[in-house]
Every structure is written in C-alpha cells, then in structure tokens.
Amino acid sequence: MKTAHRLSLIPPYLFAEIDKKKQAAMARGVDIVNLGIGDPDLPTPKILVEALQKAVEDPDTHNYPPYEGTADFRKAVSVYYQDRFGVDVDPATEVIGLIGSKEGIAHIALAFVDPGDVVLLTNPGYPVYNTAAIMAGGTPYHVPIHAETGYFPDFSAIPSDVARKAKMFYINYPNNPTSAVVTKDQLKEAVAFAKEYDILLCHDLAYSEVCYDGYRSISILEIEGAKDVAIEFNSLSKTFNMTGWRIGMAVGAKEAIAGLGAIKTNVDSGVFKAIQKAAIFGLLHPDRQKMIDENNAIFQARRDKVVAGLKHLGWNIEAPKASFYLWLPVPKGYTSAQFAGIMLDECGIVVSPGTGYGEYGEGYFRMTLTAPDERFDVALQRMADKGIRY
C-alpha cells in the first residue's frame, strides 16, 4: 500500500522518536530520568477534577458539542482575555475552542495555505509548524533565531520575494524550545511585518502562564492593529496541568477564526462538553492566579536547583523567565544528537537534541523541568559521576 507523497516529506515526530529510545533503554533495565518531553508531572488542581466529575454526571454534556466550542466556553475565554491581557475579543466571532492548541496550530494551515504558498516559521521551533505547512501543501521557510538576537526573528533578513509569497508566519513566545520571551516592541515589529506583506501571523501562546521572577507574558492581541492580521493559540494544558484533557482556544482575526472553524466542522466534532465546563470553572475561578502561582513556584524551585547544578558542571547559563525548559549548549566536540545519545546511554537521562527543533538547533539540547524534584538530584549526580561537563 502506497502512502501519500506528503508523508515522505514529514520527518519523524521528535517526541515519538524520543519515546522509542526511552522504551528501548527501559527494556534493558535502565532507570530512566525523563527530561525530554514537556508534559507537566504535577496533577490537575483537585477543584478542576471535581468540576469535571460533576459535569460528566450532567446528561446535557453527553451529546455532540458545538464545533466551535460552547457559547459559555467562548464567553469564558473572552472574559479571561480581558482580565489577563486587557484585550477585548468577541466570543461569537473572535474565539474558537480547540482540541488542545496543537490541533488548531496544525489545522490553520489547511484554511489559508495553497500548494506552493510559503509558510514562515522560526527555527528552532515547535515541530508542528513545519509539519502543518507540509500537510497543507505549502513550502516551509525556516527563519533562523539565535541567542545573539534573543531568539527573535530578524524580519529585515527575510528576502522580500519570499515574504511576498508567504501566507502565514508561526511565532511562539514564551518560546519552545529556547524559553525566550519578548517585549511589546518586538511584537509590534511582527505585526508591522505581517501587515506589510498581508501575512497571517500565528502566535503560539501555550506557555502564557508559566512565568517566573515577576515576568508576565504578552498576548499578540495587546498590540494595536494585531487583530487585523493575527490569530493566537492558547491552551489550558500548561496553565492547569491539563495536557491529557485536550482543550485550548484560538482568538484573534475574525477571518482567521472563521477559516479555522470551516476546517474544524469538517474534521472534528469538538471538545467533550464536560471538559469545557471544567475549563470554564478554571478560567473564571477567583483563585485562578493562586493555582497558577503555586504551580510556578514548584517549577521555579526546580529551575533554580537545576541551573545551580549545571553551573557547577560548567554551564554558564541564565535562569529563564518563562516556560519549563532549559535550552543548553552541548559540550564542545559533540553534535546535539551525539550528546543526547551520551546522556541516555551513560546516564539514563532523556533530553531532546536541538536539531529535533530544526537545523538551527544544532549545538544545543533541551531539558525540561517536568519531573519529580528528586529526579533532578539523580540526574545531576549521574552527570557529575560520569564526568559530563560543559
């Protein structure tokens, strides 16, 4: 049986490949410390679980949900955006529910990209941006982001002929995998570029609430005129440790929301209404920020511990202000893949090679903070015992 040509263009999904290697090592009896995948190990807040349990018992949640999300869920998103970002969005036309933000990020390309259209995406970056472009028949154009520029794109370096062919541009701050954050002035640059070339700006804000040291992430919609050219993808996955629940939202330009909605009505049937009810409870809860702060305090303590441990091993790094990732240079003499292999084979530690996020990730690896505290002690000790230093 011959598969479609597009499948041959898609590289193996990074995290699936990491999981295969992890499973093989476990089969050999290795005690694995998994610092490779950004799936919070902390539980969903108990009050949200209880809200779901109650909603499941309501027969009204047992039928098909609206494709675009219930009216109550979309209204809750609009209230949340006003409260959190000071942004007004119309719940009827500028908000849509998603089966996790990944789903929307992948499907938006089907609504706006024709075969041959260019899709701009930052590199290194979340692998789904590249895959989405390919699945829609578009041509991915990888815009390099580097430490020297704070992992923000240099728009002036994008050739004008490429920009004129571009239909979409994926950006993501707080950033995965680099943990980089942005200023409003930088986002103004992005909006101006999108307006100049009539490009749909797709901002992935999945890590909006995973912030430290007083930093508060920024919505692209806070920028004047952004609603004309931008759609923003957000999620409850990282905010409330709800990765398995699969619920998120997109907000922004009416045309973008409508286009995404047209795809979704034909390829999925929406999010279970009981999950939407629990999500509403979380978004509007008076103790929402307290729940988030308690979460972040745990991740921040881990961040501080691991950064201190890595500095002791020679890594001269700054603690990130957001996300639960550390983006680290590999020691001299190794490629990203080689170093990730050494970490697994010699230390039983799973980390992500930087090249899994694109060619400009070479020379780096990503380590997550989503493991029980004591596992970081184990990981740092194993690295020290094996002489792994920068």
Q: What is the pLDDT of residue 14?
A: 67
Residues (pLDDT < 50) of the chain are none
DSSP, res 234: E
CA distance 54 to 357: 40
CA distance 351 to 286: 37
Predicted confidence (pLDDT) per residue in 69-102, tens digit: 999 999 999 999 999 999 999 999 999 999 999 9
329: three-class secondary structure by DSSP: strand
Residues with Cβ within 8 Å of 152's Cβ and at least 6 positions away in sequence, in order, are: 145, 173, 180, 182, 186
Q: What is the pLDDT of residue 361?
A: 97
Q: Give the tokens for residue 75.
A: 């209204």
Q: Which helix (H) or strand (E) holds 291?
A: helix 288-312
64 to each of 36, 61, 219, 269, how far by Cα in Å?
Answer: 36, 8, 31, 7
Q: What is the pLDDT of residue 51?
A: 98
- The strand pairing partners of 204, in sequence order, are 172, 233
The answer to whether 310 and 328 have CB atoms below 8 angstroms apart is: yes
Domains of the chain: 5-44+289-385 (3.90.1150.10), 48-284 (3.40.640.10)
Q: What is the pLDDT of residue 69?
A: 98
Q: What is the pLDDT of residue 61?
A: 98
pTM, two decimals, is 0.96
Q: What is the pLDDT of residue 149?
A: 92
Q: What is the pLDDT of residue 207?
A: 98
Q: What is the pLDDT of residue 15?
A: 67
